[in-house]
Amino acid sequence: MIDKIGREIEYLRLSITDRCNLRCQYCMSERNMNFLPREELLTFEEIKRVVKIFSKIGIKKIRLTGGEPLVRRNFFDILENISSVEGIEEINLTTNGLLLGENFESLLKNKVKKINISLDTLNPVLYNEITRGGSLDKVLKNIFKAIELGIERVKINIVLIKGKNDNEIMDFVKFSETYPIDIRFIELMPIGEGKNFTSISNDEVIKIIQKERELFPVNEKIGSGPAKYFKSGFSKGNIGFIAPLSHNFCDKCNRIRLTPDGFLKLCLHWNKGIDLKNIIRNGITDEELENIIFNSIYSKPEHHSMDEDIEENIDKRKMNQIGG
């Protein structure tokens, strides 16, 4: 469908849980996390129902996120239901990678061909620190297994934090030169715990890389997101940059988000949207639900305001609660 300023909205980021098996410093608090009770999550039947309606109004691509989506007990019931919906052309997964090993067979069976893995450092000690307990070795083994099994595209999402992992930029570039993996440098967004850290702009990252490598633009369309891709002369994979702060891409935004408790978010930054769960559980018809969703998406905000000092209408939740 087309929203009020002419953007084609075809991509849904569907968060199915706010829980995670890690506690990354810029995402979640170390202690006293309050997770949603199970009854507050959309059921897999409710998820299938809304996905059918999203498909009818033009959503073609879905990315399953969390929290960590693979910790949800009925993850594969959800995946199977979604994969059977007519009109959904692509289902992808964003994960921290720790639980992939035991789940590859089911993922491949249900049309998951592209996997994004959040990995902010190649240093095992720092990885353990940032994630508060994660095993880098296990994640790397699963990355290599994904390549071996022929996953169509494996991407690594790197959030750079000034003074913490910004000295590893070239390590990741060399990683993409060694393996057929896309790396994506993502500017840290001032959302939730992210406000406690200092980001580094992608312009700075590019300058650091260009001291050692010439970068060549990749003109082909890769994925559904806003990343701009390059290659070095040695690349097996691509080098991507996602810059929501330094290079606002809101005018091309093609996505909406559904939180684990069924809140339709029209912009990552704003708290505006529709509580679909309560509407569904109050007995609305599919036709009425479709009209509500259509009108809500049509009025999607024109842009975020993460670069402005604005508090009104800003979503105060942590990233795991919103859906990364």
* Numbered residues of the known binding site for [4Fe-4S] cluster: 20, 24, 27, 250, 253, 267
In whole angstroms, give the CA distance from residue 271 to residue 287: 25
Token representation of residue 139 = 């994640």
Count the neighbouring beta carbons within 10 Å of the beta carbon of residue 73.
8
Query: Which residues fall in the annotated binding site?
Result: 13, 20, 24, 26-27, 63, 67, 94, 118, 155, 189, 250, 253, 255-257, 267
Query: Which residues fall in the annotated binding site for S-adenosyl-L-methionine?
Result: 26, 67, 118, 189
DSSP string, 164-220: TTGGGHHHHHHHHHHSS-EEEEEEPP-SGGGGGS-B--HHHHHHHHHTT---EE--S
CA-based max dimension of the chain: 60
Residue 117 β-bridge partners: 95, 156
- Label the pairing between strands 11-15 and 61-65: parallel
Query: Which residues fall in the annotated binding site for GTP?
Result: 13, 63, 94, 155, 255-257
| CA-to-CA separations, 61 to 14, 54, 85, 174, 312, in angstroms, rounded | 10, 10, 11, 31, 31
In whole angstroms, give the CA distance from residue 259 to residue 16: 7
- Label the pairing between strands 153-160 and 182-187: parallel
Contact between 239 and 157 (Cβ < 8 Å):
no
In whole angstroms, give the CA distance from residue 261 to residue 71: 16
Contact between 162 and 197 (Cβ < 8 Å):
yes
